[in-house]
Amino acid sequence: MALLSELKEMVIYGNMAGIEEKTKECLKQGLQPSQLISEALIPAMDTVGEKYKNGEIFVPEMLVAAKSMQLSMGILKPLIAAGDLKTAGTVLIGTVQGDLHDIGKNLVAMMLEGAGFQVVDLGTDVAPEVFVDKVREINPDILGMSALLTTTVPQMGVVVEALKKAGLRENVKVVVGGAAVTPEYAIQIGADGYCPDATGAVDWARQVVQK
Ligand code: B12
């Protein structure tokens, strides 16, 4: 589909000026918001990651690509989140300390909201004690943590330990995700779940609150 590849290219080349128009055009042509995300925006970020790894682009280019994706997501978010109004459960989510990547975390939050969950987002670079204090304060059904850097993944284990120490571990289900996280690591730190993507996170969250 030409429109989808055009949208994808606009993210890859960081075309911030035109991306919102293109997103609207895609919707006008009948494409679904979820399709724009899974067939254009996410594949675009994969390409950007590859180019960065191969030394073809650098952090500034990666940043404008990310900003372009966020502009497009800004248009899609209300459409996805409009789905369901009743609360399926509460999810506390954040990116761990030292890590500023938030696109994937935002996508997970957005999809969960769309599925009817109330989502409290702590943002990025969240210190373990901030996660723990917020769990104590709002008593969520689920705590979701995101990490994209191999250097920040260990923070997830630190948070799980801090929850145990605070006597809160049994009160909340912990799910981890992000490109640098593996299912094995989730088991190793005693998390309740790992999901590779946002749709998986929604399925997992639904199962957890049903139990
Ligand atoms: C965009 C980007 C940036 C942007 C981030 C902007 C932002 N607002 O997020 C900027 C330019 C700031 C950036 C900075 C850096 N980055 Co960067 N970045 C990326 C890039 C290209 C895309 C990430 C992304 O958004 N992907 C798209 C989203 C949708 O995917 P996702 O995050 O994986 O999320 C999905 C799943 O993982 C899952 N998920 C995510 N979170 C959660 C949470 C839960 C609870 C669940 C269930 C699921 C889940 O669901 C999501 C949706 O399907 C990746 C390459 C890549 N392909 O991953 C590199 C990458 C992550 N960055 C990398 C690096 C090295 C850096 C820097 C250190 C570069 C530098 N020298 O400064 C800094 C670190 C800054 C910091 N302290 O965090 C490396 C990491 C290497 C490693 N393994 O550690 C990567 C892999 C690039 C590479 N190939 O080398 N980066």
One domain for residues 100 and 75:
no
One domain for residues 27 and 64:
yes
One domain for residues 102 and 192:
yes
One domain for residues 174 and 201:
yes
- The Cα–Cα gap between 199 and 152 comes to 24
pTM score, whole prediction: 0.88
**CA separation, residue 202 to residues 8, 10, 90, 134, 148 (Å):** 24, 28, 12, 21, 20
Give residue 168's identity as a one-letter amino acid code. Answer: L
One domain for residues 16 and 106:
no
Q: Which of 52, 79, 106 is the last residue of a domain?
A: 79
117: which residues sit within 8 A by CB, 6+ positions away?
87, 88, 89, 90, 91, 205
pLDDT at res. 35: 93
pLDDT at res. 83: 54
pLDDT at res. 127: 98
- The Cα–Cα gap between 118 and 111 comes to 11
One domain for residues 97 and 63:
no
| 90-95 and 173-177 beta bridge pairing | unpaired
In a domain, 40, yes or no: yes
CATH number at residue 143: 3.40.50.280
Q: Which of 45, 79, 113 is the last residue of a domain?
A: 79
CATH number at residue 67: 1.10.1240.10
In a domain, 85, yes or no: no
For ligand 1, which residues put their CB under 6 angstroms from it? 42, 45-46, 48-49, 52-53, 59, 62-63, 66, 98-105, 107-108, 144-146, 148-150, 175-180, 195, 197-198, 201
What is the whole-number distance in angstroms between the Cα of residue 160 and the centre of ligand 1?
Answer: 22
pLDDT at res. 180: 97
- The Cα–Cα gap between 151 and 146 comes to 13
One domain for residues 126 and 179:
yes
- The Cα–Cα gap between 193 and 142 comes to 10
One domain for residues 71 and 95:
no
- Those residues of the chain that have pLDDT short of 50 are 84-85
Query: How does pLDDT run across 191-202, given as a tens digit for each residue?
Result: 999 999 888 998
pLDDT at res. 46: 84
pLDDT at res. 84: 45
**Number of domains the chain contains:** 2
One domain for residues 62 and 107:
no
Closest atom of ligand 1 to CA, residue 176: 45
Six-digit token pair at 98?
């030292």
Give residue 120's identity as a one-letter amino acid code. Answer: V
CA 58 to chain centre: 23
What's the CA dihedral at 178, 183, 189, 192 to 10 degrees? Answer: 90
One domain for residues 30 and 100:
no
pLDDT at res. 173: 98
| 173-177 and 193-194 beta bridge pairing | parallel
Query: How does pLDDT run across 1-30, given as a tens digit for each residue?
Result: 899 999 999 999 999 999 999 999 999 999
**CA separation, residue 134 to residues 63, 128, 174 (Å):** 29, 10, 14
Q: Which domain range does residue 31 map to?
A: 2-79
pLDDT at res. 42: 86
One domain for residues 71 and 19:
yes
- The Cα–Cα gap between 198 and 211 comes to 20
Closest atom of ligand 1 to CA, residue 101: 9
pLDDT at res. 82: 62
